[in-house]
Amino acid sequence: MAKHRIESYVAPALFLGLLFFGCSKPEEKPVAPVPQSAPAIPADATVIATVGSDPITFAEYQERLTRFGFKFDADLALQVKEEFLNSLIERKMMLREAQRRRIKISQPDISKRIESLRADQVNGVKDALAGQGIDFEKWKNDVWEDLMIERLLAREVNGQITVSSAEIHKYYQEHAPEFERAEQVRVRQIVVTTEADAIAVLGLLQKKPDFAAMARVKSTAPEAEQGGDLGYFSPGQMPAEFDVVFLLPRGGMSGVVKSPYGFHIFKLENKRPAGRLSFDEASPEIRIKLLHEKQDRRYQQWLKELRSRTTFEVNYQALGR
């Protein structure tokens, strides 16, 4: 198996990161996995990559691919297969580095992460995972791995990055056209499936004019949980049926508006006139942009350094099976 340097790059967000599973409170408290020595590899196993002394078998690769929601078959593009293998190799590199730096993840850390990913479902976590064909213990180990890598990146990459006020001011001055803004409106909506339902909702709003609360109960749109909040948008960014909102006064509510998505009721929360964002208005956005750019450059540099001091081999031909 010839040594092969990985060329493709998967963004700093972990490609094999946690899968999101909605579940009720776990029936058992998760226990922090303890790193084990590598299990014995069957003599007939196909090793498609090694990272240091850690092998990645074809069976492990397929299992990881399935847990991430892909099906390994002839229809899956070879490029996707290779990029996924690259991301798995990088993941193992980072895990080895985290262990070398003696990063620890406690049982409460894992419990907190699992709780943060919960959604309201009837089944326990094991049942929810089993319904998707995912082994609970392996999923719990994924949680541990993600936390290990996140803590490593926080220490080695993100924790070393700052953005100064001078950098923000310079960017604002040199990129003035970016801060020219068209008229914008912030809108909430309630979407229902029939006109009769929409008329009924209008009647309810006259009695109880809490639009956000009504949206949470009645709307079928994805943003219902946020009180129907669509955020800010400019003319032309939404379907033509939404243009009626630009004629509403602040706090005003539309009648029933039909679109291909159903029957809408809109409420105008706020208007922003066209013009250039002030420095104070633009600063938070600029800070985030510069921070992300610096973090990405630092991550690329750090990952290149990590690769240079890690011995690994790859057998891409095995993915053509």
> What one-letter code names the amino acid at 208?
K
CA nearest to 144, candidates 68, 25, 30: 30
DSSP output for 93-107: HHHHHHHHTT----H
- The answer to whether residues 252 and 124 belong to one domain is no
Q: What is the CATH number of the domain that holds 201?
A: 3.10.50.40
Asked whether 285 and 229 are in contact (CB, 8 A), the reply is: no
Query: Are 157 and 13 members of one domain?
Result: yes
Is there a single domain that holds both residue 117 and residue 130?
Answer: yes
Quick one: 141 and 257 in the same domain? no
Q: Which two tokens stand for residue 318?
A: 């095995």
- Ranges of residues in the chain with a pLDDT under 50 are 1-38, 120-122
Give the number of other CB atoms < 10 A from CB of residue 184.
18
> Do residues 130 and 195 share a domain?
no
158 with 36, same domain: the answer is yes
Residues 150 and 80 in one domain: yes
Q: How many domains does the chain have?
A: 2
The verdict on 204 and 256 lying in the same domain is: yes
**pLDDT value, residue 44:** 64
14 lies in the same domain as 42: yes
Pair (147, 288) in one structural domain: yes
pLDDT for position 116 = 75
- Residue 178 lies inside a defined structural domain of this protein: no
Q: What is the structure's pLDDT at 139?
A: 83
In a domain, 221, yes or no: yes
In a domain, 60, yes or no: yes
Domain holding 255, by residue range, is 183-273
Q: Are residues 11 and 128 in the same domain?
A: yes
Spell out a b/e string for 144-177, using b for 16 or more CB atoms within 10 Å of the CB, else e: bbbbbbbbbbeebbeeebebeeeebeebbeeeee
Closest CA to 96 of 54, 151, 128: 54
